[in-house]
Amino acid sequence: MPRCQSPHPEFAKYTEASGFRCDGTDQCWVSDVGNFGTAAQPEYYCIFHAPADTAPTDRDDWPKEAQGELRTAALAAHLDDWRKVVAAGEEGAAPPAFVLPELRCGPVDFKRAAFPADLMLPGAHFTGPVHLRGAVFGGRVNLSWVVFREGVDLHSAVFANATRFQSAEFRGLAGFESVRFGAPADFAGARFAEGAGFESAEFGGDADFEGAEFGDRADFRGARFHQVAAFDAADFAGTADFRGARFSRDASFHGVRFGGHAVFRT
Ligand SMILES: [Zn+2]
């Protein structure tokens, strides 16, 4: 059975340092593929990685005009398959990661969904709202370079393991209220175009916001930082509200630019 060939090995940003193994380990999860090459020189891609404006040569159920809708339905179905594989896995064996780098997808609704093992979606591009309120992420999460074109709601979500949002782009509201990070959370270089809501968020591991850009209000009221909190070189263009935030260890704000009000006292 062929498997989707994404990501291409030459994708330079998929490196060990970015938490992505390009030796084939972190290859696209999806085995439901179409041939976008020729019979002699096949190029297999899943519906998420189908080259734009092209239909596969070996199947007629993926017309290019329907691919957007097909992706939304397929993502839910593939995640269900993955949950079954993880649940049926042998004890002691590492559960497989769900890997879909650079997936393109419309609105998704995964409220209170469980993601039982590593979730690797670096470079994903969500063109509609993303609902993940109350979702539980049991494994490592890699959402670096992800683009959320509209809002993302992660209210009360739980990230049990190391989580990466490096250089992620939040073009709509980013709702991380009451979210819990059990391990390091890396938002280095992330860009929040609209409001960033981290009210009552709990960071159990290091919180890294180095070089992050907050284009509008950044709300960290009542947030709890149990380990190191780094906001070095971050840029707050709007109000930065840290009232009631508690820092149990070092908090560094070297080279931060506050363009609006910055409030730290309760
Ligand atoms: Zn794929």
Distance separating alpha carbons of residues 88 and 195, to the nearest angstrom: 41
State the pLDDT at residue 63: 83
Ligand 1 centre to CA of 100 (Å) is: 6
More confident residue, 139 or 69: 139
Provide the whole-model pTM. Answer: 0.91
What is the arithmetic mean of pLDDT over 217-236?
98
Cβ neighbours of residue 75 closer than 8 Å, sequence gap 6 or more:
48, 100, 103, 105, 108
Q: Which long-range contacts (CB under 8 A, 24 or more apart) does 117-120 make?
A: 117/82, 117/86, 118/142, 118/161, 119/143, 120/19, 120/20, 120/26
Assigned token pair, 91: 């004890």
Residues 173 and 197: beta-carbon distance below 8 Å: yes
First to last CA, the chain: 60
| pLDDT exceeds 60 at position 10 | no
State the pLDDT at residue 12: 54
Ligand 1 centre to CA of 261 (Å) is: 44
Ligand 1 centre to CA of 76 (Å) is: 14
Confidence at 170, pLDDT banded by 50, 70, 90: very high
Confidence at 7, pLDDT banded by 50, 70, 90: low
C-alpha distance from residue 223 to each of 31, 183, 204 (Å): 41, 15, 11
Ligand 1 centre to CA of 211 (Å) is: 31
What is the arithmetic mean of pLDDT over 118-130?
91
Q: Which long-range contacts (CB under 8 A, 24 or more apart) does 168-175 make?
A: 168/143, 168/144, 169/145, 169/193, 170/194, 170/196, 171/147, 172/129, 172/148, 173/197, 174/148, 175/133, 175/151
Ligand 1 centre to CA of 137 (Å) is: 21
Mean pLDDT, the chain, whole residue set: 91
| pLDDT exceeds 60 at position 20 | yes
Residue 185's DSSP bridge partners are: 163, 207
pLDDT tens digits along 229-261:
999 999 999 999 999 999 999 999 999 999 989
State the pLDDT at residue 73: 86
Ligand 1 centre to CA of 5 (Å) is: 6
State the pLDDT at residue 129: 95
More confident residue, 215 or 9: 215
Q: Quick one: CA dihedral 78, 191, 8, 22, positive or negative?
A: negative
Q: In a 3-state reduction of DSSP, which class is residue 125?
A: strand
State the pLDDT at residue 55: 86
Ligand 1 centre to CA of 236 (Å) is: 37
Ligand 1 centre to CA of 29 (Å) is: 7
Distance separating alpha carbons of residues 44 and 177, to the nearest angstrom: 40
What is the arithmetic mean of pLDDT over 65-88?
90
Ligand 1 centre to CA of 7 (Å) is: 8
State the pLDDT at residue 184: 98
Distance separating alpha carbons of residues 242 and 264, to the nearest angstrom: 5
Q: In a 3-state reduction of DSSP, which class is residue 116?
A: coil
Ligand 1 centre to CA of 65 (Å) is: 18
Distance separating alpha carbons of residues 209 and 113, to the nearest angstrom: 26
